[in-house]
Structure 1
Amino acid sequence: MREGAPVTVLRHGTLGLITVLVLFPFLGIALAAFHPTNSQVGGLSLPDPWSWENFRLAWEAGNFDRLTRSGLVIAGCVVPLTVCFATLAGYALSVLGVWGGRVLSLGFVLGLTLPVELLVIALYFNLREVGLTNTYSGVVLAEVALFLPFGVYWMQSHFAGVPRELVEAARVDGARDSAVLVRVLLPISWPAVTTLAVLVFMWSWNQFLLVLVMMQSPDMRTAPTGLGLFVGQYGTDIPLLSAASLIVIAPIVVVYLLFQRSFVNGITRGAVKG
């Protein structure tokens, strides 16, 4: 049944209002970043003159070249490991029906309820005992463990919605479990895998407290942690601080734009199945 015009107008109006509310702070930050350094910024005032100098100064003052490299190294390890382990676990729990699957699934769901603030101190002392603090390996392992509960839940839900006829047909043709996953399920699961990869990259890049506690070396920390220290030094220089904020969020925007179609497709498929 087709919706009436008032319902359509109300829906579009609500979405437009939400869009404005979400983009309004970003517009203010973007305009403030182009004001001259140490200038007073009021609301959404236009810069006069427009200045790109803040981005260069923020990049150099915050050592964002090293911080960005560290963040990309960590995310570049966390994303494939999390996606790979989550895919294998989701396949085992949903399709293979491993022994104790319900208990394991419940354990992963409970893992979603544990905040990093509750675990970070104990995690620090445990990793310090094995020499993994102040190393990329320690942060990567901690983040993979932190993101896996959602990843497993996401991939398990996706595989649960795949028609069983596809799996049974592949097994009738003599395909083993690994072949069913690689040749049958993964080709139709790229939207879900891509969505999970984008989400994990975003979470890994934005991780603040975990990196701050695990990394004592300032050069090995990531851009968000560097931005936290940047605020303490240049908190009164709003244009410079705004430019640094845009530098930090730029990689997430780039990754989203590159995988926008697959990301939206994966999210909408999950919504329809739910």
Structure 2
Amino acid sequence: MRTARLGRWVLALLMTTLALATVYPLLFTANAAMKTRREYILDRFSATTTLRGDNIANAWNSAGMAGYFVNSLIVVGGAVILLLLFGSMAGFALSHLKFRGSRTLFLGCLAGLFIPFQVIMVPLVRTMTAVGLIDTYPGLVVAYVAQFLPFTIYLMTSYYSAIPKDIVDAARLDGNSFYGVYRRIMLPIGLPALLSVGVLDALFCWNDVLIALLMMPSAEHRTLMVGVTALRGQYSSDIPTFASGVIIAAVPVLAVYLVFQRRIADAVTAGSTKG
């Protein structure tokens, strides 16, 4: 009993340390964003006594974060819609429509999860350049769909595999086509999984820097995370403004985590247990 209690205390201490190590950088950044340049230079670690929005307004307007924010909304929204559409269709087909090569196709999707983006980024950029999709919104959306579709297909296939095949057979006997079964049966049943996977896909796309940096070289089309990276060079002597840009980029991610934390946990564990 004493050993078990000691183990719980050690685990609680480790988790508390991990939580503090995670939260402290965010608190430090928020504190720096509230300071003037002079205050930060004189004492970067002291707590600010006033709440100023000047640095955040400067980063939003003068540093172009507003435009970067809109760019991210466009590409992330488009990519998530296509990922959920193609992922849910493929998940239904691979889980309930047994056809020649379906197992091989599913294994191919799984193999796509283990291919680092660095391996395919040169062929991707060359292909996108050849078809004229570099520095365009559709080009970045297509790149995100190609990168994260295997993950989406895997989770949706795992979820749909737990649905009894009798439901599909009954719908077919009622005269539904396969598309009708997908639209009338599978989509409503799969809404919880679609929401969970959609949140994860949105976070993946929102936090991406490498793909967006390769696909959107011009400053006009930068996404928010690439814009924050560029701020580090432009405002190397103005850390409060740079910290404000980091806060602007982090707030949407934190909001999504707080609102959809249960969905994120469900998506991460999808397919780990049999339904």
| TM-score, structure 1 normalization | 0.87
Structure 2 residue runs of 5 or longer lacking an equivalent are: none
Query: What's 1:235 paired with?
Result: 236
- CA contact 1:191–1:265 (8 Å) conserved in 2: no
Query: What's 1:134 paired with?
Result: 135
RMSD value, Cα: 2.5
Instruction: Please report how far the alpha carbon of residue 150 of structure 1 lies from its aligned counterpart in structure 2 after TM superposition.
Output: 0.6
Change in CA separation of 1:271 and 1:238 when aligned onto 2, cut-off 3 Å: farther
Change in CA separation of 1:221 and 1:178 when aligned onto 2, cut-off 3 Å: same
| 1:158-192 CA distance string (max 9 Å, x none) | 11122334333433444332232222232232221
Tell me, in whole angstroms, the C-alpha distance in 1 between the residues paired with 2:50 and 2:27. Answer: 17
SS of 1:180's partner is helix
- CA contact 1:191–1:266 (8 Å) conserved in 2: no
Tell me, in whole angstroms, the C-alpha distance in 1 between the residues paired with 2:168 and 2:206. Answer: 36
Counterpart residue type for residue 150 of structure 1: F
The reply on whether 1:26 has 2:26 as its aligned counterpart is yes
Alignment of 1:1-274 (within 5 A): 15-38=15-38, 39-40=40-41, 41-43=43-45, 45-267=46-268, 270-273=271-274
- CA contact 1:62–1:227 (8 Å) conserved in 2: no
Instruction: Please report how far the alpha carbon of residue 208 of structure 1 lies from its aligned counterpart in structure 2 after TM superposition.
Output: 1.3
| 1:84-140 CA distance string (max 9 Å, x none) | 101111111111123211111111111112222222222111111111111111111
80-89 or 170-179, larger mean C-alpha shift: 170-179
Tell me, in whole angstroms, the C-alpha distance in 2 between the residues paired with 1:100 and 1:140. Answer: 28
Tell me, in whole angstroms, the C-alpha distance in 2 between the residues paired with 1:6 and 1:17. Answer: 17
Change in CA separation of 1:101 and 1:126 when aligned onto 2, cut-off 3 Å: same
215-224 or 19-28, larger mean C-alpha shift: 19-28
Change in CA separation of 1:190 and 1:263 when aligned onto 2, cut-off 3 Å: farther
256-265 or 158-167, larger mean C-alpha shift: 256-265
Tell me, in whole angstroms, the C-alpha distance in 2 between the residues paired with 1:147 and 1:155. Answer: 13
Identity of aligned residues (%): 33
Tell me, in whole angstroms, the C-alpha distance in 2 between the residues paired with 1:273 and 1:36. Answer: 55
Change in CA separation of 1:189 and 1:10 when aligned onto 2, cut-off 3 Å: farther
Tell me, in whole angstroms, the C-alpha distance in 2 between the residues paired with 1:146 and 1:55. Answer: 33
Tell me, in whole angstroms, the C-alpha distance in 2 between the residues paired with 1:163 and 1:242. Answer: 51
- CA contact 1:54–1:240 (8 Å) conserved in 2: yes
Tell me, in whole angstroms, the C-alpha distance in 1 between the residues paired with 2:103 and 2:236. Answer: 50
| TM-score, structure 2 normalization | 0.87
- CA contact 2:155–2:267 (8 Å) conserved in 1: no
Tell me, in whole angstroms, the C-alpha distance in 2 between the residues paired with 1:89 and 1:15. Answer: 39
The count of residues paired between Structure 1 and Structure 2 equals 270
Change in CA separation of 1:190 and 1:17 when aligned onto 2, cut-off 3 Å: farther
- CA contact 1:36–1:50 (8 Å) conserved in 2: no
Structure 1 residue runs of 5 or longer lacking an equivalent are: none
- CA contact 1:86–1:148 (8 Å) conserved in 2: yes
